Amino acid sequence: MCGIVAIHDPVTTHAELGHQMLDRVRHRGPDGYGSRTVGDTWLGHTRLAIVDLADGDQPLGSDDGHWVVANGEIYNHSDLREDAGYAFRTRSDSEAALAAARSGSDDDLAELRGMFAFVVAHADGTVLAARDPLGVKPLYWVRDGSMTAFASELGAFDPQTRPHVEEFPPGFRWSPESGLARFRDLRTDVAPVESRDDAIAAIRSSFVDSVRYRMMGDVPVGVFLSGGLDSSLVAAVMARYADPSRGPIHSFAAGTKDSTDLAAARRVADHLGLEHHERVFGPDEVVAVLPDVVGCMESYEPSLVRSGVPNYLLSELASTTVKVVLTGEGADELFAGYDHLRAIDHEQLAEELIRSVEGLHNLNLQRCDRVTMAHGLEARVPFLDRSLVYLAQRIPIEWKLPRERGQEKALLREAFAGWLPDDILWRPKEQFGDGSGMADVMQREAYRVAADRDWQAVRVAGLPAPRSREELAYQRMFADHLEGVHPRVLGRFATA
């Protein structure tokens, strides 16, 4: 996991600008800093060392003069090496991205299994950029005259440039010659699973494989544990398949003193034999850290901020012990875990679920990436492996609706019967901001963060009317972070 910057310009070089931009995402990679001009492209990389600690520094080059800067992880890089027809020079998983881009084949890009955003350049002036199909890893870009610039975060760009910045679309690649083109779609029309028992078995097998892939690395790997179903299942699989020689699995939980999440997480950790860590926070800490959270997330959406604060504090804690954590993002979108989905017509629900998965890069995945990388910590999301995304679409929608005990995600719970205590396996869902105690804190503290007597009459230029006093406060923090952006375009980055 890293921060990347790339500036392509056939007319002039931009090394000074590149270094300025790279310095602004230095928090994403505290272990290394490298740059190189390759043909018409300046490449910059700030590294969080996870795989091939000795030889994985970037920009990373090939024997024939291609160079890459990459952010993310390619989990199947070992499998791809066997059939690549390419002489690998390192053990770095990022070299699999370099090999795929060098081949010029969209099929090779589509075979990359993981989370990634990368730019590859050659001395002959060619360049290619690509982002993973779910957009787990962020990438922004701007095209200004002869210059095309890329960066991992919006804040990397100069204030005068930000009004023109766009999000690079997930699942696409770009080159000056061919423009934007999709190399992998999230949607599938493969035949439905034939029986409920087959669906349960396939869910269990696919999820176990996905978690095991994401335990890859040459550094300690931990888990964010809320005590809810999704993160508890991640922890259960990790505990079952952990390599004892690498030490215990570390789990991390955050919340207010009496929050339900902390109590449930302790129970899961005790049951699984994890080395558990807690971050207990109070109202003063929440109010103090809010500007940092809104700024690093580059979003003011209240539900994201409420969940972002505990995760931000949790990341700060975890980064002192591990460099990688697995999280439970994505399960609700795949298996209809939200209460509001129950009211949607069955024929429309399948489309709503895939649309919600496609939109995660602007919501939960954005929050997950930013709050962890603010502390040089890599977050991995096993529920969003492509095998599970495709499998979920093959499961008839009726099987995803509440059945056993009236609980959502019954299929997922049934798939792991016996892996967790029954009260945890069937624990009712709470939003992370609720279970951690953040929602209660912000209801009490809203007057401190937005003290306006008539807050409903106050608006931040360029943004929608705030729906609450709390949202107004976050909008102000968001605008401060993006200082210099023209009001008419500020709203484009509300959830981008």
**Which of the residues are catalytic?**
2
3-state secondary structure 112-138: CCEEEEEEEEECCCCEEEEECCCCCCC
Backbone angles phi, psi at 92, to 5 degrees: -65, 135
Q: Which of 305, 299, 360, 297 is nearest to 490 (CA)?
A: 299
Runs of H (alpha helix) within 183-318: 196-213, 229-241, 260-272, 283-297, 302-318
List the Cα angle 55/137/48 in 5-degree steps.
30
HSE-up (13 A, CA, CB side) for residue 137:
27
Q: Which of 234, 245, 241, 243 is nearest to 268 (CA)?
A: 234
243 marked as binding residue: no
Write out the two tokens for 334.
Answer: 């795949």
Q: Are 321 and 294 in contact (CB under 8 A)?
A: no
For residue 442, the one-letter residue type is M
For 33, the 3-state DSSP assignment is strand
Backbone angles phi, psi at 40, to 5 degrees: -95, 15
Q: Are 313 and 283 in contact (CB under 8 A)?
A: no
Distance CA 268, CA 280 (A): 17
| The residue count for the chain | 496
Burial 117-143 (b: 16+ CB within 10 A, else e): bbbbbbeeebbbbbbbbbbbbbbbbbe
Task: Write the DSSP assignment of 178-204 as a string of letters.
Answer: TEEEE---S---PPPPS-HHHHHHHHH
For 167, the 3-state DSSP assignment is strand
Q: Are 264 and 427 in contact (CB under 8 A)?
A: yes
Return the CA Rg of the chain: 22
List the Cα angle 437/438/442 in 5-degree steps.
125
Distance CA 431, CA 332 (A): 11
Matching residue, tokens 């059939």: 83
Q: Are 42 and 166 in contact (CB under 8 A)?
A: no
Binding-site residue numbers for L-glutamine are: 93
- The annotated binding site is made up of 93
